[in-house]
């Protein structure tokens, strides 16, 4: 595998985050063919020597399907129960598709409160290190039985940032159902285009960005929660790519440095990665 603008060794640890809207088909059901393509891409990166962690939502969507619910439940206990039922189906699907690629996976269910506690934080770090050393791909979701943060606000964007900081990731690839961050609302302005690179995330950009910036419905995140996560990652010297998870080979291309969606990376980090500095 060749790398275009970044050195593979400098992008050793990769977090890939996929949201519910990207994982599901038009009927709202978990799209097995999409999971198969993710398994192919992440297994390819794994075999090429990268250490990959997947943060995946989709438990509630899978649970909804199994329970025969046509709309997202409104009360929290039903959402949590749907997540509990759906997580089994979700991880079974990942297990089958990664198994087809001969890639081992591990399931990690976490909350931010686990990471606030020094002991459980250290235990989680050790488990991630060992899972990666063993060549497996940890698949992380929020433990929705005991926490509701990502159900309410983030669709796992915040969790992905916390995991990336915890494992010392070099890059986070956030797969969404839009092409990246637009310079204007593409629904209102046909000339709106994707911003290819950002070196900082200003507070007014966050304030202007819609909380439901990508397709609403299945997940709870939007473009704002993705930018908030990217801002946390910028402060931790970790690059972020926001891109359309449905584009063919998008994860491998993003890691190889081929332009995909919006690349968010400070000038200091660009220098470390051997890239040109940009005006902000
Ligand atoms: N942990 C939840 C899930 O996997 C978060 C996403 C959501 O709110 O739909 O389904």
- d(CA 40, ligand 1 centre) in Å: 23
Classify strands 137-142 and 105-110 as parallel, antiparallel or unpaired. parallel
Classify strands 51-56 and 137-142 as parallel, antiparallel or unpaired. parallel
The separation between CA 130 and the C-alpha centre of its own chain, rounded to angstroms, equals: 21
20 lines ligand 1 (CB under 6 A): yes
Beta strands in the chain, from DSSP E residues, in sequence order = 13-18, 51-56, 105-110, 137-142, 171-176, 197-198, 239-244, 262-264
| pLDDT of the chain, 280 residues: tens digit per residue | 333 444 443 689 999 999 999 999 988 899 999 999 999 999 999 999 999 999 999 999 999 999 999 989 999 999 999 999 999 999 999 999 999 999 999 999 999 899 999 999 999 999 999 999 999 999 999 999 999 988 887 779 999 999 999 999 999 999 999 999 998 888 888 999 999 999 999 888 888 776 654 433 445 557 888 999 999 999 999 999 999 999 999 999 999 989 899 999 999 888 887 787 876 5
Distance CA 142, CA 239 (A): 22
Asked whether the whole model's pTM tops 0.85, one would answer yes
Name the residue with the closest Cα to ligand 1, atom 2: 57
28 lines ligand 1 (CB under 6 A): no
Distance CA 103, CA 47 (A): 9
- d(CA 18, ligand 1 centre) in Å: 10
82 lines ligand 1 (CB under 6 A): no
Name the residue with the closest Cα to ligand 1, atom 8: 151
The backbone torsions φ and ψ at residue 28, rounded to the nearest 5 degrees and listed phi first, read 85, 5
Is residue 55 a contact partner of residue 18, using CB atoms and an 8 Å limit?
Answer: yes
Q: Which of 62, 54, 41 is nearest to 13 (CA)?
A: 54
């Amino acid at each position: 595998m060749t790398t275009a603008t970044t050195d593979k060794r400098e992008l050793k640890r990769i977090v890939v985050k996929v949201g519910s809207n990207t994982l599901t088909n038009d009927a709202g059901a978990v799209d097995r063919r999409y999971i198969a393509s993710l398994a192919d891409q992440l297994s390819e990166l794994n075999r090429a020597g990268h250490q990959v962690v997947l943060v995946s939502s989709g438990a509630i969507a899978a649970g909804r399907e199994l329970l025969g619910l046509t709309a997202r439940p409104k009360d929290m206990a039903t959402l949590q129960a749907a997540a509990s039922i759906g997580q089994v189906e979700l991880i079974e699907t990942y297990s089958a598709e990664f198994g087809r690629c001969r890639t081992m996976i591990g399931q990690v269910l976490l909350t931010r409160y686990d990471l606030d506690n020094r002991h459980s934080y250290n235990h989680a770090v050790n488990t991630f290190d060992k899972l990666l050393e063993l060549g497996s791909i940890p698949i992380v979701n929020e433990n929705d039985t005991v926490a509701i943060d990502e159900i309410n606000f983030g669709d796992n964007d915040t969790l992905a940032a916390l995991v990336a900081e915890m494992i010392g990731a070099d890059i986070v690839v956030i797969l969404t159902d839009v092409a990246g961050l637009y310079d204007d609302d593409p629904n209102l302005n046909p000339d709106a285009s994707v911003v290819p690179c950002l070196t900082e995330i200003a507070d007014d950009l966050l304030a202007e960005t819609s909380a439901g910036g990508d397709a609403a419905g299945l997940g709870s995140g939007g473009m704002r929660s993705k930018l908030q996560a990217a801002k946390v990652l910028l402060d931790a010297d970790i690059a972020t790519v926001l891109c359309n998870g449905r584009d063919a080979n998008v994860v491998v291309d993003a890691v190889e440095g081929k332009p995909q969606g919006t690349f968010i990376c400070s000038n200091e980090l660009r220098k470390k990665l051997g890239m040109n500095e940009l005006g902000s």
